[in-house]
């Protein structure tokens, strides 16, 4: 510390109270400190020891007797090589290092082998190193295995280690069993999980595609919903005169209802079966469509739980419900039927002709427009726009199937879809822009493109679309 160092007698300030002093002062005028007790400064020395005494000159280091390299024999003679073993040395204990008999083995210590009696190879861990033995890092240790076998239990005989089920041979699944989409080897149990790797399997209705030559449909769960509540059914048959008929039914489950996925599936199957049974008997296609919607309604009503009955006008509370829309294409007629807000669009093959929407929504927005209370833009911008006023279900007040018959005068494409698609192509012009130009020749690819259009737009809802090419009618056909 500075207070322990010698101080000069002539101070500029008192060492006790820091009062300024004159050179001739012997006592501090402020506190009376005796300035004569301050020792005289030592003579200047370049080195001061920590205890205040002068350090003497460092002792001369003993001379090192370095070995002299022999002179080279000439310019053509290579310089001699000196190995580390040629220079004598001592270990950390001061003992002289042993001179190896074969110094050349030290050039590559990783390849050296210790004799059987080498102490360095057999010395147990923690033992002291014998005097004279060099210390350092060992480079010639044997390589260690990547895995170590497990020791048998100490309290019993050695037991067989069970095989890893992930690497063992799997039993061959029975014929017709569903294989895991992840490992492609395990069998899927009834709960939808792989019995081998445990991977949850995608549900069958998450994405569905079907093509029947003249009609194709695609349904997808979308990007926001946890399940696909849409369903479709496509088919073909013939009229009594042999004329071909193509049918497409699309249903959208009402998410706020119970079991909407079951409702849409039951409705689509019931409607399709009803039409296929009626048309070959000579029933008019428009009447067959009306009967199909009634059959679909009865199928959905049958899903309701009778125990929830609450009065005459509300026989079933929050019963399964869905919408329905369908199209029947004959060589000369196009029949459309619906209940709810799923739609049908007409897109001519000749894009110079105007497309059209062939259905009117059973929704709050459509009612506001029909009553003249709002224009279409205002109504569909309202948050209540998609509230449906018609649906299939036991809690529907009254069933009012809508059916319309058309006679197109030119070839075109019929697009049957849920609001999961038309939300991203609402007007007929927007839908026509989304439909590929070759949709009449490639209906399945066109349906895939339209579903992709909805997913690219956000995929907020389930998406289902069916594409039916309409054949060119005979000349002179008019519209109905």
Quote the pLDDT of residue 114.
Answer: 44
* Greater model confidence, 124 or 363: 363
What pLDDT does 15 receive?
78
Tell which wins on pLDDT, 281 or 171. 281
Q: Using the predicted structure, report yes or no on whether residue 113 has a pLDDT greater than 50.
A: no
Instruction: Summarize the confidence of residues 16-29 as an average pLDDT.
Output: 76
- Quick check: 21 and 12 in contact, CB under 8 A? yes
Please, which residues bridge with residue 469 across strands?
Answer: 413
Number of residues written out for the chain: 480
What is the average pLDDT across 322-339? Answer: 96
Q: Per-residue pLDDT averaged across 227-245, rounded?
A: 95
Q: Which residue has the higher pLDDT, 89 or 268?
A: 268
Q: For position 453, what pLDDT does the model report?
A: 97
Q: Average pLDDT, stretch 306-316? A: 54
217-231 mean pLDDT: 94
Look up the pTM and report it.
Answer: 0.59
Bigger pLDDT: 258 vs 318: 258
* Mean pLDDT, residues 354-369 taken together: 94
Mean pLDDT of 58-66: 52
State the pLDDT confidence band at 479, using cuts at 50, 70 and 90.
very low
- 250: tokens are 């699309």
- The encoded tokens of residue 126 equal 């923690």
For tokens 């445990």, name the residue.
198
How does pLDDT run across 178-210, given as a tens digit for each residue?
A: 788 778 778 888 777 888 888 777 778 899 999
Provide DSSP, 383-449.
Answer: TTTT-BS--EETT-S----EEEEE--SS-EEEEEE-HHHHTTS-SHHHHHHHS-TTTTT-HHHHHHH
Whether the Cβ atoms of residue 233 and residue 266 lie closer than 8 Å to each other: no
What would the DSSP string read from start to end of 320-386?
-EEEEEEEEE-SS-EEEEEESS-EEEEEESSTTSPPEE-----BHHHHHHHTTSS-HHHHHHSTTTT
E-assigned strands of 134-259? 207-211, 216-220, 230-238, 244-253
- Which of 168 and 386 is assigned the larger pLDDT? 386
User: Where does the pLDDT of residue 278 fall: very low under 50, low under 70, confident under 90, or very high at 90 and above?
Assistant: very high
For the segment 85-112, the average pLDDT, to the nearest whole number, is 51
Q: CA-CA distance, 342 to 417, in Å (whole number)?
A: 6
**Is the model's pLDDT at 166 over the cut of 60?**
no
What pLDDT is attached to residue 345?
Answer: 98
Confidence category of residue 61, pLDDT binned at 50, 70, 90: low
Per-residue confidence band for 162, with pLDDT thresholds at 50, 70 and 90: low
The dihedrals phi and psi of 91, each to the nearest 5 degrees, come to: -85, -175
Q: pLDDT at position 26, please?
A: 76
Number of neighbouring beta carbons within 10 Å of residue 388: 21
What is residue 137's predicted lDDT score, i.e. its pLDDT? 45
Q: What whole-number distance in Å separates Cα of residue 365 and Cα of residue 387?
A: 8
Determine the average pLDDT of the residues in 154-183.
63
SS3 at position 247? strand
Give SS3 for 248.
strand
Residue 153's pLDDT is: 57
**Average of per-residue pLDDT values in the chain:** 77
Kindly tell me if the per-residue pLDDT of 442 is higher than 80. Answer: yes
The three-class DSSP label of residue 16 is coil
Quote the percentage of the chain above a pLDDT of 70: 65
Instruction: Flag whether pLDDT at 317 surpasses 80.
Output: no
Cβ(14)–Cβ(21) below 8 Å: yes
Cα separation, 416 vs 430, in Å, equals 15
What is the DSSP secondary structure assignment for residue 20, as one 8-state letter? Answer: B
The Cα–Cα gap between 51 and 59 comes to 20
Determine how many CB atoms are found less than 10 A away from the CB of residue 164: 7
Read off the pLDDT band of 118 (50, 70, 90): very low
CB 240 within 8 A of CB 277: no
Q: Is 317 exposed, middle or buried (0-12, 13-18, 19+ CB in 10 A)?
A: middle
- Of 140-149, 219-228, 289-298, 388-397, the one with minimum mean pLDDT is 140-149
Residue 11, φ and ψ in degrees, nearest 5: -110, 150
What per-residue confidence (pLDDT) applies to 467? Answer: 98
Nearest to 423 by CA among 379, 391, 447, 459: 459
Whole-number pLDDT of residue 441: 93
Which 3-state string (H, E, C) describes 90-153?
A: ECCCCCECCCCCCHHHHHCHHHCCCCCCCHHHHCCCCCCCCCCCCCCCCCCCCCCCCCCCCCCC
Is the pLDDT score of 78 beyond 80? no
pLDDT of 450 reads 98
How many beta carbons lie within 10 A of that of residue 185, not counting itself?
15
Q: Could you report the per-residue pLDDT of 401-432, keeping only the tens digit for each?
A: 999 999 999 999 999 999 999 999 999 999 99
């Amino acid at each position: 510390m500075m207070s322990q160092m010698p101080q000069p007698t002539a101070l500029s300030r008192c060492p006790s109270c820091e009062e300024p002093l004159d050179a001739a002062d012997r006592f501090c005028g402020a506190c009376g400190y005796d300035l004569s007790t301050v020792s005289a400064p030592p003579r200047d020395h370049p080195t001061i020891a920590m205890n205040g005494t002068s350090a003497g000159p460092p002792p001369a280091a003993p001379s090192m007797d370095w070995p002299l390299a022999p002179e080279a024999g000439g310019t053509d003679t290579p310089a001699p090589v000196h190995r580390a073993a040629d220079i004598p040395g001592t270990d950390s204990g001061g003992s002289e290092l042993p001179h190896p008999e074969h110094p050349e083995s030290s050039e590559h210590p990783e390849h050296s082998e210790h004799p059987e009696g080498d102490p360095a190879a057999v010395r147990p861990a923690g033992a002291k190193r014998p005097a004279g033995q060099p210390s350092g890092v060992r480079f010639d240790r044997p390589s260690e295995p990547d895995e170590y076998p497990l020791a048998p239990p100490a309290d019993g005989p050695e037991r067989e280690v069970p095989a890893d089920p992930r690497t063992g041979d799997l039993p061959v699944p029975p014929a017709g069993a569903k294989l895991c989409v992840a490992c492609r080897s395990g069998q899927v149990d009834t709960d939808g999980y792989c019995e081998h790797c445990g991977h949850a399997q995608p549900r069958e209705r998450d994405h569905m595609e079907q093509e029947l030559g003249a009609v194709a449909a695609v349904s997808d769960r979308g990007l926001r919903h946890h399940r696909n509540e849409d369903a479709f059914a496509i088919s073909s048959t013939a009229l009594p005169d042999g004329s071909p008929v193509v049918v497409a039914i699309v249903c959208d489950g009402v998410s706020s209802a119970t079991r909407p996925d079951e409702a849409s599936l039951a409705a689509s199957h019931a409607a399709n079966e009803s039409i296929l049974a009626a048309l070959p008997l000579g029933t008019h296609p428009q009447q067959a469509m009306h009967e199909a919607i009634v059959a679909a309604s009865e199928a959905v009503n049958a899903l309701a739980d009778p125990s929830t009955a609450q009065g005459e006008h509300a026989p079933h509370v929050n019963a399964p419900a869905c919408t329905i829309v369908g199209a029947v294409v004959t060589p000369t007629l196009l029949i459309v039927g619906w209940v709810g807000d799923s739609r049908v669009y007409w897109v001519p093959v000749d894009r110079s002709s105007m497309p059209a929407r062939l259905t009117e929504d059973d929704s709050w927005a459509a009612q506001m427009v029909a009553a003249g209370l709002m224009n279409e833009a205002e109504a569909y911008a309202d948050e209540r726009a998609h509230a449906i006023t018609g649906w299939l279900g036991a809690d529907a007040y009254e069933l009012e199937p809508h059916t319309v018959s058309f006679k197109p005068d030119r070839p075109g494409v019929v697009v049957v879809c849920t609001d999961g698609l038309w939300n991203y192509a609402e007007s007929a012009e927007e839908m026509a822009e989304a439909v590929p130009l070759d949709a009449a020749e490639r209906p399945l690819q066109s349906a895939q493109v339209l579903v992709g259009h909805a997913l690219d737009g956000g995929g907020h809802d389930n998406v289902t679309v069916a594409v039916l090419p309409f054949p060119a009618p005979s000349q002179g056909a008019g519209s109905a």
